[in-house]
Amino acid sequence: MPYWAERKFTTLRSSSPRDEPNRIRFEMNDLGTTNRLLLVIVVPLIFYLLKELSFIFVPLFFSMFIALLFLPLMRWFKKKKVPNALSVIAVIGIIAATFHLGGRLIKISTSELLSVDNTFVALAESKLLGLVVSLESFLGIERIAGVRVIDHYLKEFNVFNNLGPTVEMVGNTLTMTLMTAFFVLLLLAGSINLQDVIQTVFFRRKYASVKVFRRIEKDIIKFIRVKFIISFFTGVGFTLACLFFDVSFPVFWGLFAFLINFVQMVGSIVSVILLSLFAMVELDTSGTLLAFILVIIGVQVLMGSILEPIFLGKTFSINVITVLVMLMLWGYIWGVPGLIMAIPITVFVKIIMEQFPGTKVIARLMSGTTAGAVNAR
């Protein structure tokens, strides 16, 4: 048979209906490989943009979570036929009153810190000296005799050298606060519709987008409310413990515990360690100090490990490994704001992944339900 005839026969034979399923399967595998390669390229690019444009995305995400808290109230106002402008003004009034109350607490705690006398400073320095000397002898560190501990370890610390970064940090915080307020106004006024954004990005059908948006709204509102209540009572517990054991600055430590408790897992550990170290200055007897430490640990365990999981329920059963990974990831990308928003973002991603068969297994693994993940396969 001539070469051209053999080539034509081979072409006709390869395009026969019998080989059509193999050709379709090959093209689908080719398309799947291309999609995976694109995913490997796109995901790091997205995280890079999130990090570089943090001055936009941090206020935007903060404003989204704040707006979600007030969306049910805005819908209630709309149902009662209250004008949209008055509804927005009412919500702004609630937010302003909350910030005013927080400012008053900060003012009280600041006045506590400013009322420190020289006796307390001298006592703190002597306790610090004893602790540092013990650590130096344990680690084999030698220090020049006669040199103060603070002067030795903070000799390179200069207030004026660190003034620039401090001013920059304050400026960035103020800018992000104003941008957050601006985005909140846009979201509450309806200029940016979160449901439409979810529908455009993830879904084609409006019913599916509405259903998912309502679930995201319900779960994140529940998480923020429970976290706020747990953090509030944690702060109250720390304040009462300081008052009972006569530890200075009870309002400051209560406010500190309230704020840092929004950082999942890490915040509770930091608050207990710092307050325990501070209590070592004032509580002389080891038994009293141990009792105080056990009380504040008990407050954290009761609030964070018992009551919070009960109030959140099984819908927020996120694997501990997932929590740690998300804390490290968003902490690296956005710093402290990323640590605060890591869990709400994880809840959002988990709900979105549960809607698609290809990512449902990942969502189950994030929840820690490995048996369900195996069955889903």
- Residue 3 in domain: yes
* Amino acid at the residue 10: T
- Residue 13 in domain: yes
What pLDDT was estimated at residue 99? 86
What pLDDT was estimated at residue 7? 46
Range of the domain at 16: 1-40
What pLDDT was estimated at residue 254? 92
DSSP-assigned states of every residue in 88-113 = HHHHHHHHHHHHHHHHHHHHHHHHHH
Nearest to 342 by CA among 235, 242, 282, 262: 262
Per-residue pLDDT of the chain (377 residues; tens, 9 = 90+): 544 444 444 444 444 555 555 555 555 555 556 666 766 787 788 888 888 888 888 998 888 888 888 888 888 888 888 888 888 888 889 888 988 888 888 888 888 777 776 676 676 667 666 666 677 666 666 665 655 655 665 555 554 555 566 677 777 788 888 888 888 888 887 777 777 777 776 766 666 677 788 888 888 888 888 899 999 999 999 999 999 998 888 999 999 999 999 887 788 889 999 898 888 878 766 788 889 999 999 999 999 888 888 887 765 677 888 888 888 899 899 888 888 888 888 888 888 888 888 778 888 888 765 443 333 33
Please count the structural domains in the chain. 1
- Residue 153 in domain: no
What pLDDT was estimated at residue 353? 84
Q: What is the mean pLDDT of the chain?
A: 77
Scanning 53-162, the segments in alpha helix (DSSP H) are 54-79, 84-114, 118-139, 149-153
- Residue 20 in domain: yes
Question: What distance in Å separates the CA atoms of residue 288 and residue 294, rounded to the nearest whole number?
Answer: 10
Three-class SS of residue 262? Answer: coil
- Residue 359: φ, ψ to 5°: -110, 0
Question: For residues 373 and 361, is the Cβ–Cβ distance under 8 A?
Answer: yes
- Residue 36 in domain: yes
- Residue 28 in domain: yes
- Residue 280 in domain: no
- Residue 97 in domain: no
